[in-house]
Amino acid sequence: MNSKYLLIAALSIMVTACASTKKQVASTATSINREVMSHENEPILLGRINREGLTRGTYANWFNTEYNSYRVDEKALEPVKSKLKGLTVLVFMGTWCEDSQREVPRLFKIADYLGFKDKNLQIVSLDNHPDRYKQGPNREEQGYNIELVPTIIFQRDGRELGRIVESTKVSFEADIAAILAK
Nearest Cα residue to 94 out of 106, 85, 103: 103
Same domain assignment for residues 97 and 168: yes
Domain that holds residue 86: 31-180
Same domain assignment for residues 81 and 136: yes
Q: Is the pTM of this model over 0.85?
A: no
Same domain assignment for residues 8 and 78: no
Q: Work out the burial of residue 15: count CB atoms within 10 Å of its CB; fewer than 13 is exposed, 13-18 middle, 19 or more buried.
A: exposed
Q: How far apart are CA 57 and CA 6, in angstroms?
A: 50
Same domain assignment for residues 126 and 140: yes
Give the chain's domain count: 2
Q: How far apart are CA 161 and CA 154, in angstroms?
A: 6
Same domain assignment for residues 17 and 79: no
Same domain assignment for residues 42 and 21: no
Give pLDDT, residue 1.
Answer: 52
Whether the CB-CB separation of 47 and 140 falls below 8 Å is answered with yes
Give the Å distances, CA to CA, from 69 to 63, 66, 148, 181: 10, 5, 24, 28
Q: Say which CATH number the domain at 131 has.
A: 3.40.30.10
**Model pLDDT for residues 156-172, shown as the tens digit of each residue:** 999 999 999 999 999 99
**Under-70 pLDDT residues of the chain:** 1-30
Give pLDDT, residue 182.
Answer: 82
Same domain assignment for residues 24 and 35: no
Same domain assignment for residues 16 and 45: no
Give pLDDT, residue 30.
Answer: 46
Same domain assignment for residues 67 and 22: no
Same domain assignment for residues 1 and 66: no
Same domain assignment for residues 171 and 107: yes
Same domain assignment for residues 20 and 38: no
Give pLDDT, residue 4.
Answer: 54
